[in-house]
Structure 1
Amino acid sequence: MAKAIVMPAAALILASFALLNSMSAFVGTQPALRASRSQVAMEVEWHGGLNRNVVEVFFTAPAQGERTRMVVTPDTTIDQILKDGRKLLGFDQEWIPDSDFTLYNGEDENTPLKGTIGDCGLVDFGYEVHMYFTPK
């Protein structure tokens, strides 16, 4: 009697394993997930520079390990970016003036940023400013 129960149970386990193994994942079949190069149309290839009116930049305080994102336009002033960035990161204490902080381009920390962000080499993608506490 025990052999009679074991055989149908083993057959049921093998059948369910085969069924599960042949099913696609819940996200769809693999061919639908992969698009060949001919199916994807590339309209514009980006070669750097500024072509957009609104750009997302990273605002980073490297010494504290803090980072946030902000959306700016090319005519946004460096002073406004500093004020907004300090607030977003929680460094906006009233007793520390904005003049005690300096912003630099994340790729070139030799020259402080001044004027508008558009005049400081803003590009469409991957622009980062670094904020440092430099008390006067």
Structure 2
Amino acid sequence: MAMARATVMPAAVLILALFALLNSMSAFVGMQPALRATRSQVAMEVEWHGGLTRDVVEVFFTAPAQGERTRMVVTPTTTIDQILKDGRKALGFDQEWIPDSDFTLYNEDFPDTPLKGTIGECGLVDFGFEVHMYFTPK
């Protein structure tokens, strides 16, 4: 009889310890609603509805045919010619024997209209603006 108690007692303690551990783990998965922040406790996010409100904007410069991409920082007054020159250099396509005029930049959203003038005149927005460079020899 003493032998039976000696083997049952550690098993009972082990089962109780496992039960206590499982109950305490539920606190980490959000069982207690008081631990969750409500909408009023969280800082409100600013909603962005498009347009240009910044003086400096990061744009993606992509050469889709080569699978190359880089980021660059521009202002609304940066010319398309300067973006082309800087983008070619950043991607390693700045060979002296190929003139800039053999490349054309397009906005990824309007692939049929070449970009000209300043980037601000071409629909620059605060986030997610991308220009695509295509080799179009004359």
TM-score interval w.r.t. the shorter chain? 0.7 to 0.9
The normalised TM-score by structure 1 is 0.75
The normalised TM-score by structure 2 is 0.75
Instruction: Give secondary structure in 2 for the equivalent of 1:70.
Output: strand
Q: Deviations over 1:90-135 (max 9, x none)?
A: 3334443322221012111222212211222222333221111123
Distance, in Å, in 1 between the alignment partners of 2:68 and 2:101 is 20
Aligned amino acid, residue 9 of structure 2: A
What residue is the counterpart of 2:3 in the other structure? none
Asked if 1:35 corresponds to 2:46, the answer is: no
Q: Deviations over 1:30-58 (max 9, x none)?
A: 522x524996275xx65433332212222
Asked if 1:69 corresponds to 2:77, the answer is: no
Root mean square deviation, CA, Å: 2.8
What residue is the counterpart of 1:87 in the other structure? 89
Asked if 1:58 corresponds to 2:63, the answer is: no
Identity of aligned residues (%): 65
Distance, in Å, in 2 between the alignment partners of 1:94 and 1:133 is 15
Asked if 1:23 corresponds to 2:23, the answer is: no
Instruction: Give secondary structure in 2 for the equivalent of 1:123.
Output: coil
Distance, in Å, in 1 between the alignment partners of 2:28 and 2:123 is 52
Instruction: Give secondary structure in 2 for the equivalent of 1:13.
Output: helix
Aligned amino acid, residue 26 of structure 2: N
Determine which of 100, 123, 134 is the counterpart of 1:132: 134
